[in-house]
Amino acid sequence: KTIYLKDYTPAPYLAKQINLSFNLLPGKTIVTSEVKYAKNPAGVSNDLVLDGEEQNILSVTLNGQRFDSYSVADGQMTLVNPGDEFTLTIISEIDPAANTALEGLYQSQGNYCTQCEAEGFRRITYYQDRPDVLSIFTVRVEADAKAYPVLLSNGNLQDSGSLPDGRHYTVWHDPFPKPCYLFALVAGDLVRVADTFTTMSGRKVDLHIYVRAGDEKQCDHAMESLKKSMKWDEEVYGREYQLDLFNIVAVSDFNMGAMENTSLNIFNTALVLAHQETATDSDFMSVEGVIGHEYFHNWTGNRVTCRDWFQLSLKEGFTVFRDQEFSADLNSRAVQRIDDVNGLRRLQFPEDGSPLAHSVQPDQFIEISNFYTKTIYEKGSELIRMQHTLLGGETFRKATDLYFDRYDGHAVTCDDFVLCMADASGRDLSQFFRWYKQAGTPTVQVSSQYDAAQQSYTLTFKQSQPDTPEQTSKQPLHIPVAVGLLDDSGKEILPTRVLEVTAREQTFTFADLPGRPVPSILRGFSAPVKLETDLSDDDLRLLQVHDTDGFNKWEAGQTLALRTIQRVMEKPETDISQFVADVGTLVEQGLAVQGDKALLARALSLPLLGVIAQHQAVVDPAAIDEARTAILKQIKSTHKDALAALYDANRNTGEFSITPEAMGRRALQHAVLDILTVTNGTGCAARSKAHYDAADNMTDRVTALACLSDSSQPQRAEVFADFYARFKNYPLVVDKWFSLQAIANREQIFDDLAMLRNHADFNIKNPNRVRSLYSAFAINNPVKFHDPSGNGYAFLRDVIIELNTINPQIAARMVTPLREWKRYTPALQAHMKAALEAILATPNLSGDVFEIVSKSLNA
Ligand code: ARG
Ligand code: ZN
C-alpha cells in the first residue's frame, strides 16, 4: 500500500500522557498501556485509529470499564467516536524471544531491547504510531532480578525496588513529550561504565555506557566521544543537554547503526566498542561520528521532531551534517570532506540514478524502513551544507537558533526548517527548496573564456537535471558554486567566493586579470552535482600541486586519474608515463616533507571502482578493474624503490595512538603497501606477512589481510588462520575475518563463499554477520559479484529469499546492489534481472522486499 505526503492529516486524538508497564516473563511479555486521550482540535476525524501488530489483546478498558466495541483489521484497532477526553487501557501479550525482525521489543543474546523507529512501537502496544503524536511517558519495567539486573527506559529513574519471587522493578519518567518512535526499554545482565559531564550552565549529567561483561575495556573511546559531542553542541550550536542522565546500551543484534531514543541510545556494538587490538582506525572514526550523530539527535530529532516520515531528512540530513562537521573539527577537515564525498559518490549517486531514485522529501512510499537511504541521510546533509554555504556560518547559526526557539517540542517539516533559514537571513529560498523535491544528481558544465584585450575571464555554467521515476522536465536549481582563481605559477589570485547559479545557463565575469587564470571550481564540493569542466590536464596538474583548497587539490588528482583510466580502457597501450611520473612526484614529496599524511594517502589512492563506474555509460566492472590494476602495476614498477622508502619512513614507531597524525601515518603506509602488493607475487605476500607480524594493532592487521586477500601464496592461509585463532572470541573481529575473505578477487571465491556461509560462526539472524559476508561481497567485491557466470547474483539472491521471512528490513537492504541492473553490460543485466525476478516470485514476499524489487524491475 502506497502512502502519500499529500494525504497528511493531523492525528484525530492527542495523547496527553502514557503509562506503560512491562512484565517480562519467561516465554512472554505482558504490556499494559494506559493512555489519556483528548480530541485534537486540529483533527479532521472522530475515530481513534490505533496501530498494532504481532500481539494478542488480553483486555481493553475505557475509563475503567471493560470495553468491547472496537474493531481490529489490517493492523489497526478502530474506536468510533470514543469521546472528547478519556483513558484507554489496553493489556496485550507479546513474544520478544520469537522476534527475529529486530523491530519492537526483542532479545539480543538473552537481553531485552527495543527498536521503535520508524514503526516498531506498534509491535509493542496499540497506539497512534506516528511521529506527530507527542506524549509524556512513564514506564514501569518488571523482571527477574538475577537474570536482568539492569532495567532501563527513557528519562529519569523515579522508583525501583524488589518484589517477591526474586523479581524487581524500576519506574522511569521522561518529562519531555516525545513521539513513540523514541521510546526505549532495556533489560539485561550488563556492566556499566560511568563518567560525568558538566554542562555550560553547570549542571552535572551522569553518563553511562552499558555493555556485556568483558567489553567494558572497550568503552573509553565512546565515552570520550560522547563528552566531546556534548561540548561541541554547546560551542557550535549553543545546545545544552537537559536531563540528569544519558545512557548508551550496546547490543550485538541490531538492524542499523544506532538509535537516538531520548536519554537511552541503543547502539550496535560495532559503533561503541573500540580498542586498538580489535578496532581499526576507521572503526574509531565511525564510533566517534555515530556517538556524535545520536547525541546530536537530542536537539535535531528529539526536541524538534518530524511531523511525518516524509520529513525524515529534517532530522537525518541535519544530524548527518552536524556529525560530519563535528568530525571535521576534531580531525582533518579536508580528509573528512574527501571521505564524505567519496561515500556520496560511491553510494548516493548510484541510488539517485537508479529506479529507486527519490527526493530528499519524498512524495510517496510503501515501506518507510526502505527510506533510510543515502539520499535522505547523505544528500540531505548536502542540502543543509549548501544552506550553510549560502547563508554563511554566522547567519546559519542565527537561523538554527530561530529553528530551535520556534519549534522546540513540535513536530515539523523540511519546509519549516528552510523557512527559518529564509526568515533569519532575509533571503528567498523558494528556488532552493526544489533541491528537496527533485530527485537525481544534477550535472553542471562549466566552460571558460579568457579575453586578453579586456583582461577579463568568464565562466559559463550550464545546469541540467536528469529524469527520474515519476519526475520529468525539472526546474533549474539554486546551486552554490565556490570558486577560486590561481595564476599560471600556481599563486592564488582570487580567494574563494560563492557564485550562485540559479539559471539554466549563467555567466560570471572576473575583471583585471593580466593572464589566463586556472579556476578551482566547486571548492569543498560546495554542491552535490556532477561537474564537467574544460580544464586541461595541465590545469589539473597545477591545481593538484598548488590549490589552497584541500578538497579540490585531491579532486584534481582524482580527475587526472579518471581520465587516465578512461584512456587505458579505450586503448590499453596508451602512454600513461606522465600520470605515473606525477604520482612519483607525490611520493617524492611525501619523502621530503612532513605534510598531512592522511591527505597524501588519499592522493595516492586511485578512484574506487564504484566511483569510476559513475563515469561509464555501460558498466563492465572487470574491464574497469583491469585498467585500474594495469595503472597501479606501472606505478609500482616505475617507483618501486621510492615507494619502499616511503613505506619504511612511515613505519610504526613508539606507542600506539589514535591522534589524527598517527592515523595519517598508518593511512599513508597502507596506501603505499596497497600499491607495493598489487602484483600478488611471492614478494608481495612476504611483505604483507611481515606487516602482519609487526602489527600491534587491528588497523595494521586488517591492512595486511586486505593486501593478502587476492593472493594465492601460502602466506594467505597462514595469516588468515592466525587471525581467526587470535580473535575467534571477538564477534566484531570475526566479522572482519568474514569480510576480508568475501572481498577477495580470486579464482576460488565461490568456494570460499560457500565455506563461509556454512561456517559454524555464520548466523543468518545476526545482521552484522550477514553484512560481513554478503554486503562485503556484493558491494566491496564488484569484480566477482559481477562475475559473468551470474554466480555472484545467485549467492545474494538466495540470502535475500532466506531473510525475507526472518528479517524483512535486512532482506530489503540486501537488494541494493541489484537495483542498478540497467547500467551494466547486456549479459550482466540479464543475470541481474533474473535474480530480481526470482526474488519477486518468492511466496509471502514482505512489503519491504516487494517495494525495492518491484520498483527495480518496473523502471
Ligand atoms: N534514527 C536512527 C539514526 O539514524 C536510525 C534508525 C533507523 N531504523 C530503521 N528501522 N530503519 O540514527
Ligand atoms: Zn540519525
Tell which atom from ligand 1 comes closest to the C-alpha of 103.
10
State pLDDT tens for residues 571-596.
999 999 999 999 999 999 999 988 89
Total length of the chain: 859
Residue 664: partners with Cβ closer than 8 Å, 6 or more residues away: 332, 335, 596, 597, 598, 599, 601
Instruction: Copy the grid coordinates of residue 593.
Output: 616533507
Distance between CA 169 and CA 178 in Å, rounded?
A: 23
State pLDDT tens for residues 232-283.
999 999 999 999 999 999 999 999 999 999 999 999 999 999 999 999 999 9
Q: How far is the CA of 614 from the centre of ligand 1 (A)?
A: 28
Distance between CA 775 and CA 768 in Å, rounded?
A: 10
Distance between CA 156 and CA 17 in Å, rounded?
A: 16
Whose atoms come closest to the Cα of 318: which ligand? 2
Q: How far is the CA of 117 from the centre of ligand 1 (A)?
A: 6
Instruction: Copy the grid coordinates of residue 349.
Output: 549517486
Q: Is the peptide bond before 118 cis (omega within 30 degrees of 0)?
A: yes
Q: Diameter of the chain by CA atoms?
A: 95
Q: Which residues pair with 824 in a beta bridge?
A: 619
Whose atoms come closest to the Cα of 268: which ligand? 1
State pLDDT tens for residues 712-763.
999 999 999 999 999 999 999 999 999 999 999 999 999 999 999 999 999 9
Over residues 500-506, the mean pLDDT reads 98
Give 859's pLDDT tier (boundaries 50, 70, 90).
Answer: low
- Number of alpha carbons in the 13 Å side-chain half-sphere of residue 693: 9
Distance between CA 271 and CA 291 in Å, rounded?
A: 8
State pLDDT tens for residues 618-656.
999 999 999 999 999 999 999 999 999 999 999 988 899
Distance between CA 205 and CA 642 in Å, rounded?
A: 53
Over residues 678-686, the mean pLDDT reads 98
Residue type, 45: S
| Number of other residues whose CB lies within 10 A of the CB of residue 160 | 13
Give 522's pLDDT tier (boundaries 50, 70, 90).
Answer: very high
At 250, is the secondary structure helix, strand, or coil? strand
Over residues 612-617, the mean pLDDT reads 96
Residue with CA at minimum distance from ligand 1 atom 2: 259
Q: Which residues pair with 108 in a beta bridge?
A: 111
Distance between CA 793 and CA 799 in Å, rounded?
A: 10
Instruction: Copy the grid coordinates of residue 37.
Output: 486521550
Strands 13-25 and 135-144: parallel
Distance between CA 101 and CA 124 in Å, rounded?
A: 13
Q: What are phi and psi of 28, to 5 degrees?
A: -165, 160
Q: Is the pLDDT of residue 487 over 70?
A: yes
Q: Is the pLDDT of residue 339 over 90?
A: yes
Report whether 586 contacts 603 (CB < 8 A).
Answer: yes
* All residues with CB under 5 Å from ion ligand 2: 316, 319
Ligand 1 pocket test, pick from 259, 374, 851 with the greatest ligand atom count within 8 Å of Cβ, gives: 259
Q: How far is the CA of 257 from the centre of ligand 1 (A)?
A: 7
Please state, in angstroms and as integers, the Cα–Cα distance from residue 631 to each residue in 12, 575, 587, 628, following that order.
Answer: 64, 11, 16, 5
Over residues 780-784, the mean pLDDT reads 98
Report whether 458 contacts 507 (CB < 8 A).
Answer: yes
Over residues 777-806, the mean pLDDT reads 98
Tell which atom from ligand 1 comes closest to the C-alpha of 368.
11
**Residue whose cell numbers read 472528547:** 84
Whose atoms come closest to the Cα of 315: which ligand? 2
Distance between CA 160 and CA 175 in Å, rounded?
A: 18
Closest to 520 in 3D by CA, of 501, 492, 500? 492
Strands 111-115 and 156-163: unpaired
Residue type, 785: F
Distance between CA 793 and CA 796 in Å, rounded?
A: 5
Distance between CA 222 and CA 752 in Å, rounded?
A: 35
* Helix%, strand%, coil% for the chain, nearest 5: 45, 25, 30
Residue type, 155: G
State pLDDT tens for residues 57-84.
999 999 999 999 999 999 999 999 999 9
Distance between CA 265 and CA 297 in Å, rounded?
A: 10
Report whether 388 contacts 283 (CB < 8 A).
Answer: no
Distance between CA 675 and CA 572 in Å, rounded?
A: 20
At 619, is the secondary structure helix, strand, or coil? strand
Residue with CA at minimum distance from ligand 1 atom 3: 259
Instruction: Give strand ranges (E) for 529-673.
Output: 530-533
Nearest 5°: the CA angle 627, 630, 635 is 130
Strands 56-62 and 48-51: unpaired
Ligand 1 pocket test, pick from 99, 129, 256, 298 with the greatest ligand atom count within 8 Å of Cβ, gives: 256
Report whether 659 contacts 221 (CB < 8 A).
Answer: no
Q: How far is the CA of 450 from the centre of ligand 1 (A)?
A: 50
Q: Is the pLDDT of residue 47 over 80?
A: yes
Whose atoms come closest to the Cα of 848: which ligand? 1
Distance between CA 153 and CA 124 in Å, rounded?
A: 14
Please state, in angstroms and as integers, the Cα–Cα distance from residue 96 to each residue in 102, 113, 154, 392, following that order.
Answer: 9, 9, 19, 49
What ipTM does this complex have?
0.98
State pLDDT tens for residues 646-656.
999 999 888 99
Please state, in angstroms and as integers, the Cα–Cα distance from residue 803 to each residue in 174, 778, 798, 812, 848, following that order.
Answer: 36, 16, 9, 9, 11
Residue with CA at minimum distance from ligand 1 atom 12: 259
Residue with CA at minimum distance from ligand 1 atom 1: 259
Closest to 183 in 3D by CA, of 253, 259, 258? 259
**Residue whose cell numbers read 525524515:** 312
* Annotated catalytic residue within 119, 294, 555, 851: 294
User: What's the burial of 404, exposed, middle or buried (CB within 10 Å: 0-12/13-18/19+)?
Assistant: middle
Distance between CA 497 and CA 511 in Å, rounded?
A: 14
Q: How far is the CA of 465 from the centre of ligand 1 (A)?
A: 30
Q: How far is the CA of 715 from the centre of ligand 1 (A)?
A: 41
Residue 653 pLDDT:
85
Q: How far is the CA of 259 from the centre of ligand 1 (A)?
A: 6
Give 481's pLDDT tier (boundaries 50, 70, 90).
Answer: very high
Distance between CA 34 and CA 792 in Å, rounded?
A: 51
**Residue whose cell numbers read 594493532:** 697
Residue 788: partners with Cβ closer than 8 Å, 6 or more residues away: 622, 827, 828
Averaged pLDDT score across all residues of the chain = 98
Tell which atom from ligand 1 comes closest to the C-alpha of 369.
11
Distance between CA 498 and CA 687 in Å, rounded?
A: 47
State pLDDT tens for residues 108-139.
999 999 999 999 999 999 999 999 999 999 99
Question: Any residues with Cβ below 6 Å from ligand 1, and which?
Answer: 117-118, 255-256, 258-260, 293-294, 316, 369, 372, 809
Percentage of residues of the chain with pLDDT beyond 90: 99
333-343 vs 312-330: helix axis angle to the nearest 10?
Answer: 140
Report whether 289 contacts 326 (CB < 8 A).
Answer: yes
Instruction: Copy the grid coordinates of residue 293.
Output: 550523530
At 52, is the secondary structure helix, strand, or coil? coil
Q: pTM of the full predicted structure? A: 0.99
Distance between CA 724 and CA 737 in Å, rounded?
A: 7
570 as an active site residue: the answer is no
Closest to 308 in 3D by CA, of 42, 38, 10? 10
